[in-house]
């Protein structure tokens, strides 16, 4: 059953059950659902805790909210006590971890990923509550692991797992997020940040544009949402200094997908290279994880959110 039909069914069942128990009917404003998917950089490796022995803690989330140069820009991430804020209007599910959006939903609890900036941008835009479903695993290629059905060959196991997790969360929504019990669901956006495992293989690199097009079409079909807005965050881990031909060609392929006629207006490319921060002002020199720089991951997510809002506004979706 397509997810949209499934969601309508769930909303109706919950509404009838509530009415039968003499409760008030569910609120009519839908819960806005977004999927965030990809490999390790969607998992998120931005360090939260500042290590004073490493560049004075620069590039960590703690440094961002304390430094005179950045604390005003990131003040919304902490409360009056200095604790990380938890949004009650933006919920998140990330491979079994659930709650209100806050710092700590990266690859490890000590890290953040694009979800933090994305969730704040989207949450500030909508009056209705938001649910982020984050599905990401490190070291996964589009050509093999996420391989979509229409690309031919064996369907990637993580393409299948992605769909399974999304369906599970939507079906179990009332249990996972009781605060949204009975509220209708509206799946309205998909964010993608992935590419490393394709850019290191020439054959994978060569077919990336084609595979990503298949991925978008197949997901829209299997999720039951034609023209589902889709944003592609550039795989720009070395910033403007990147010179490797495979890296450059993969980024061109990512950008080219959004320019295909069928995707114009409902798929967008999100440049990220300007968010790169050198190792001298970052928690590490781990270039393939953006040097573990929390500012980078936040800005990537925020840019994805703002571009997503542009697609939604263009499509005149109700806010």
Q: Per residue in 51-67, pLDDT tens?
A: 999 999 999 999 999 99
pTM, rounded to two decimals: 0.91
Over residues 28-55, the pLDDT tens digits come to: 789 999 999 999 999 999 999 999 999 9
DSSP codes, 65-93:
HHSTTTTTTTGGGB-TTSPBP--SSEEEE
pLDDT means per 10 residues, the chain with 319 residues, are: 43 33 54 98 98 94 97 97 97 97 98 98 97 98 98 98 98 96 96 96 97 98 97 96 96 98 97 98 97 98 98 69
What are 196's two structure tokens? 């490393």
CB neighbours of residue 21 within 10 Å:
7
Q: CATH for 3-12+29-314, among 3.50.50.60, 3.30.70.141, 3.40.50.300, 3.40.50.1110? A: 3.40.50.1110
Let me know: does 178 contact 23? Beta carbons within 8 Å.
no
Strand order of the β-sheet with 185-193 is: 97-100, 90-94, 130-136, 31-38, 185-193, 230-233, 267-270
Judging by beta carbons within 10 Å of its beta carbon (0-12, 13-18, 19+), is residue 119 exposed, middle or buried?
buried
CA triple 261-262-264, angle to 5 deg: 65
Q: What residue ranges do the domains of the chain occupy?
A: 3-12+29-314
Cα separation, 93 vs 84, whole angstroms: 18
The mean of the pLDDT values for the chain is: 91
Using DSSP bridges, classify how beta strands 111-112 and 46-47 pair: parallel, antiparallel or unpaired: antiparallel
Terminal CA-CA length for the chain: 27
- pLDDT recorded at residue 27: 63
CB neighbours of residue 22 within 10 Å:
6
């Amino acid at each position: 059953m397509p997810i949209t039909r499934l969601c309508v069914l769930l909303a109706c069942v919950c509404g009838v059950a509530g009415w039968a128990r003499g409760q008030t009917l569910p609120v009519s404003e839908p819960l806005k659902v977004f999927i965030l998917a990809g490999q390790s950089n969607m998992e998120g490796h931005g360090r939260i805790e500042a290590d004073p022995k490493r560049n004075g803690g620069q590039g960590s989330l703690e440094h961002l909210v304390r430094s005179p140069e950045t604390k005003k820009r990131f003040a919304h991430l902490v409360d009056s006590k200095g604790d990380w804020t938890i949004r009650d209007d933006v919920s998140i599910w990330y491979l079994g971890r659930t709650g209100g959006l806050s710092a700590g939903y990266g690859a490890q609890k000590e890290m953040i990923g694009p979800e933090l900036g994305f969730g704040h941008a989207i949450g500030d835009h909508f009056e209705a509550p938001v649910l982020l479903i984050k599905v990401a695993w490190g070291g996964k290629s589009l050509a093999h692991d996420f391989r979509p059905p229409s690309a031919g060959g064996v369907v990637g196991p993580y393409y299948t797992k992605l769909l399974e997790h999304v369906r599970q969360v939507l079906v179990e929504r009332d249990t996972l997020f009781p605060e949204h019990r009975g509220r209708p669901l509206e799946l309205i956006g998909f964010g993608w940040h992935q590419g490393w495992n394709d850019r290191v293989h020439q054959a994978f690199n060569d077919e990336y544009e084609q595979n990503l097009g298949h991925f978008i079409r197949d997901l829209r079909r299997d999720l039951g949402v034609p023209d589902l807005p889709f944003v592609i965050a550039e795989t720009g881990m070395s910033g403007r200094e990147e010179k490797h031909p495979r890296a450059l060609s993969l980024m061109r392929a990512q950008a080219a997908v959004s320019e295909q006629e069928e995707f114009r207006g409902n798929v967008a490319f999100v440049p990220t290279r300007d968010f790169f921060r050198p190792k001298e002002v970052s928690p590490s020199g781990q270039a393939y994880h953006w040097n573990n720089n929390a500012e980078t991951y936040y800005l990537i997510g925020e840019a994805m959110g703002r571009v997503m809002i542009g697609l939604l506004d263009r499509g005149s979706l109700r806010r």
